[in-house]
Structure 1
């Protein structure tokens, strides 16, 4: 479902944390933590705000530049570790791994990777879809006339995250008005949608079907392999698939899964039955009457050709309807895909770095401009930041102050005494401090910590 399966292997803080509440399908979410501004624009707006406030802009410019560079280095290291954990499960790798990876090491890499991806998505201000919300989306009717069935129990890991919702206006002809008039309707969208999938091994899935259907292992395994044969070439349970999409209709989430099955809605079945059945019966009746009165081979041949044409037309009508469904599926996947697998992971890491950097710059500037700040003043600081974003930048955001404060404290730019008073480094000192952190990256102690943080296997 919306998380790794109960019998999946992903454990740890990120996996155990309950997903944040998502908004019901079809609604527009309230403002979240995502700041829909480029880093360059936000930095320029902050510097202009400081200049208007009478501050010396130059030291703040250097401090913000050093802060962004330091955050980039941290995310680069974070991404490299994730990519190393991803190597045993990468579907489209073009390099060779010469190291022997044991099952224990592979299982540990799997756990680290799932936890790391979830933490990265949360840093990028993505929100996790709950299991009940996913089920509502899968059960919803699509305006395309396309209905897809998805078997989520076939997956070992399923993660769905999104960031931002919107609506677009679409037009469609109403079948209850005999398709004579178009009607407009609002279609809810996910602005960004992330999907992680890993199929269950054939053996594990076969054992589940044994208990579910009451059959022996041989029949269950044969059933699983028959279903898996309908998947795209190269899709196996040994790979983890990452997908990133843009502007995906909420009711079309099910078409993003590789094991979808196309089925017709009751109205489509009724229409096909009436048109195909009625047309065939009429054609057969007309052809039969001609056959009964036929007195020469030419008349007989014409009657048989007419009967075959009627049957062929109705059969082709069925396949044309199915092909129309497939075209809608292909168009959505082609125009809405942003990145896959390693590219998706890199893009998410870039978005997470961007969000953290913007939050850190905002909090640092507003803390540095205050004479004294205590824990009790943090709500007022968050309100000031939100007011700045709304009045100066035209965006409504719920600023994630706690997360940004934690990072600034870890970097030593903000410190807290026993009384809860916060002290923020001056811009000149902050620049020198961050420069010192850069110099310390090559120290033996720092390099040893990096080595310890590496995966349990070494990829060559």
Structure 2
């Protein structure tokens, strides 16, 4: 991700004075086209960074701030755990890796069983059950979505996945990016044919548009030296695939399932390698290596056939044997060329296998859980950063959203070397929802004091379940 000096210079600045407190200038919010929203810091790293610079006024505040972070972490973890369970329930009918798929019977299916039980009870002289036969609200827990048809279920899970990807700061790739990848040879010098007719759903989501440097080994006995090249990559890529009912796929592929594949460090020109059902195209150089010897062998074979036929007419049985000997060599040469072609295709497939092995992060339900964890961490980072800088530096006058946004972006750039387009609107919405900050009539934001913030978060945590109130 690039660095835009002109845009940064317009921010309020983390211009440290003699006291170490950032000087604040009230300018408009900086906007970046070449930055992403994701903050690539683990939660402990962020807390340590804030405690190191600018730090807390006192050691007591430092301890309270650590507890503040623990409370924020616990609240978001609880909320995202609920979301994870909802996603699991939605995804279960389409999970290709599910081990147990027990579907609870419906009321209609249980009706014959109920009648038999009541008839047996009447025959034994037992009193008839007079209660309602309606199932309890929890009797069909986990089967809530059975009333939906499969198309509606697929639409529901896809909507949830897209919402989750948005929270995790993924962006959907358009068809132009995939078409460009198909046209251009990738890192391995290979091109692939993609059969789009196989798919009912094919979506690609990416995050982390950056450039990596790779070493190209020396070639031609050192005449071409080792060098470094820049490779545009996506740091994260999620592939969402569902096959058509009539798609010609291997028998072990369940066409009723929804496949989710999460990859890392994918070169932009290698996107098509990750799509199932792709076939490698032979490179021109490899085609020449295979085709030229084969053509030469066929030409030689044809010439020897003509010469052998003439020899046969002239020499009888001995000529036939000589003729067979003449054509045996070119035929074996052609067979060797064919197996060279097969070997080349196998080498291509091995390259794809190696790529998938080293770049695959997670699959199916595991990919969803991975994304939920990343989205949860991003919510934590945005909340802690926005509240901390309001609390430390906004003062009684408060800060505008633009000023807070620019301050956080410059802080991350100077102290974490991260060029980020901070999502200030989303961060402030979370602060307001949690009761940690409020805007005044002029639109300037004010953070609640540290101890009060901890008390409010503790109250939220205590009220997730209220049974303890009846025990007091």
Preserved contact between residue 291 and residue 303 of structure 1 (Cα < 8 Å): no
What 5-or-longer segments of structure 1 have no aligned partner? 1-22, 24-28, 203-227, 445-460
Q: Equivalent residue for 1:122? A: 166
User: What corresponds to 1:209 in structure 2?
Assistant: none
- CA distance 1:373–1:61, change in 2 (3 Å): farther
TM-score, scaled to structure 2: 0.74
Structure 1 partner of 2:261: 243
Two-structure CA RMSD over aligned residues (Å): 3.0
Please name the residue that 1:303 is paired with.
326
Residue 97 of structure 1 aligns to a residue whose secondary structure is coil
Query: Does the CA contact (< 8 Å) of 1:195 and 1:242 recur in 2?
Result: yes
CA distance in 2: counterparts of 1:310 and 1:138, whole angstroms: 34
Aligned partners of 1:68 and 1:357 also within 8 Å: yes
Within 2, Cα distance between the matches of 1:299 and 1:186? 59
Aligned counterparts, 1:271-282, within 5 A: 271-282=289-300
Which residue matches 1:351? 374
Which structure: larger Rg?
A: 2
Is 1:49 the counterpart of 2:53? The answer is yes
Q: 2:98 aligns with which of 93, 97, 105?
A: 93
Mapped to 2, the partners of 1:409 and 1:108 lie a distance apart of: 34
Q: Is the 8 A contact 2:438 2:447 kept in 1?
A: yes
Task: Specify whether residues 300 and 417 from structure 1 end up closer, same or farther in structure 2 by C-alpha distance, changes over 3 A only.
Answer: same
Q: Supply the distance in 2 between the matched residues of 1:180 and 1:45 (Cα, whole angstroms).
A: 48
Contact preservation (8 Å) 1:280, 1:314? no
Deviations 1:340-389 (A, max 9, x none): 00110100111111111111111110111221355x72211112112221
1:242 is displaced (CA, Å) by: 0.3
After the TM superposition, which segments of 4 or more aligned residues of structure 1 sit over 4 Å from their partners? 52-55, 100-103, 179-185, 265-268, 286-294, 296-302
TM-score normalised by L of structure 1:
0.76
SS at match of 2:37: coil
Moved more, 280-289 or 148-157: 280-289
**C-alpha contact 1:157 1:196 (8 A) present in aligned 2:** yes
Selected match of 1:433 from 456, 463, 468: 456
Structure 1 segment 171-182 matched on structure 2, within 5 A: 171=216, 181=224
Which aligned pairs between 1:218-257 and structure 2 lie closer than 5 A? 228-229=247-248, 231-257=249-275
Q: Structure 1 residues 172 and 289 mapped into 2: Cα distance closer, same or farther (>3 Å)?
A: farther
* Segment drifting more, 355-364 vs 260-269: 260-269
Q: Is the 8 A contact 2:56 2:62 kept in 1?
A: no
Task: Judge conservation of contact 2:311–2:323 (CA < 8 Å) in 1.
Answer: no
| Equivalent residue, structure 2, for 1:104 | 148
Give yes or no for the alignment of 1:319 onto 2:342: yes
CA distance in 2, matches of 1:279, 1:181: 33
Whether contact under 8 Å (1:167, 1:187) holds in the other structure is yes
For the pair 1:263 / 2:281, whether they are aligned, the reply is yes
